[in-house]
Amino acid sequence: MNTIWTCYNFFEMESIDWGLCLIADTEYSERINLISTIEKTVKQGVTIVQLRSKNTDTRTFLNTALQISKILTPFNIPFIINDRIDIALACHADGVHLGQKDLPLHFARKILGKDKIIGVTAPNIQQAEKAQSQGASYIGVGPVFYTESKKNASEPLGLKQLSFIRKHITLPILAIGGINPQNVAQVISTGVDGVAVISAILGAESSEVATKKLLQGIRKIKS
């Protein structure tokens, strides 16, 4: 496999802990201190951070990304930017995550090079197989359950369909959509490599407690 990573560190894909990805959505910035929350949850065991910002201007997005990059460097975990390749390059992020309506994967790979992480959202097996064949680093599969975190989300896949996709995809899979401490063990039981969450952590009364509970559910199955 190709080596990946940036920020002047290089690791094998196999060394990445995909267990718990926090999607840090800037929409929560009005309710919580996003930067502080990210730092606290990473200390509790979050293994990947993805910055998502749909409604902020470019400079605000970049400033937030630079702050997060600085926080994450000592922890040596992947920092992924949602959608924006320019922001990823500017802040020396480890990669990007692309939706089905974002820049096509092959163009992103040309811009970023072979050593960057590129994740792709795939709500069905056909799109997951396409992303895999085109050289994605990992697949984000979902929504698994109903979620309010993403407007106009696809119909929930459910655990049976998630398990089917897992059996046919060899790349790392992050399940997403409606995942919380109560159902995370069921999700991991399908064989996926990890989960990506937004409101389960950012919307929790205590982000640190929520992180601990999610990790307990993940480790219960993976250990």
Per-residue pLDDT, 12: 65
Is residue 106 domain-resident?
yes
Distance CA 196, CA 50 (A): 9
Is residue 216 domain-resident?
yes
Cross-strand bridge partners of residue 223: none
pTM, to two decimals: 0.92
pLDDT in tens, 75-106: 999 999 999 999 999 999 999 999 999 999 99
Q: How many domains does the chain have?
A: 1
Is residue 4 domain-resident?
no
Is residue 8 domain-resident?
no
Distance CA 154, CA 143 (A): 7
Q: Where are the beta strands (DSSP E) in the chain?
A: 20-25, 48-52, 79-82, 95-98, 117-122, 138-141, 173-176, 194-197
Is residue 139 domain-resident?
yes
Distance CA 161, CA 97 (A): 22
pLDDT in tens, 29-54: 989 999 999 999 999 999 999 999 98
Write the CATH number for 125.
3.20.20.70
Average pLDDT, the chain: 92
Per-residue pLDDT, 10: 45
Q: State yes or no: pLDDT of 134 exceeds 90.
A: yes
**Residue type at 163 in one-letter notation:** S
Phi, psi (degrees; rounded to nearest 5) at 79: -120, 120
Strand, coil or helix: what is 45? coil
Phi, psi (degrees; rounded to nearest 5) at 138: -155, 165
Per-residue pLDDT, 29: 92
Is residue 3 domain-resident?
no
User: What is the number of residues in the chain?
Assistant: 223
pLDDT in tens, 163-172: 999 999 999 9
Is residue 170 domain-resident?
yes
- Per the structure, the complete domain to which residue 57 belongs is given by 18-222
Q: State yes or no: pLDDT of 6 exceeds 80.
A: no
Mean of pLDDT values over 115-131? 96
Q: CA dihedral in degrees (132, 135, 140, 144; nearest 10)?
A: -10
Is residue 7 domain-resident?
no
Q: State yes or no: pLDDT of 161 exceeds 50.
A: yes
Dihedral sign computed on CA atoms, order 179, 184, 187, 188: positive
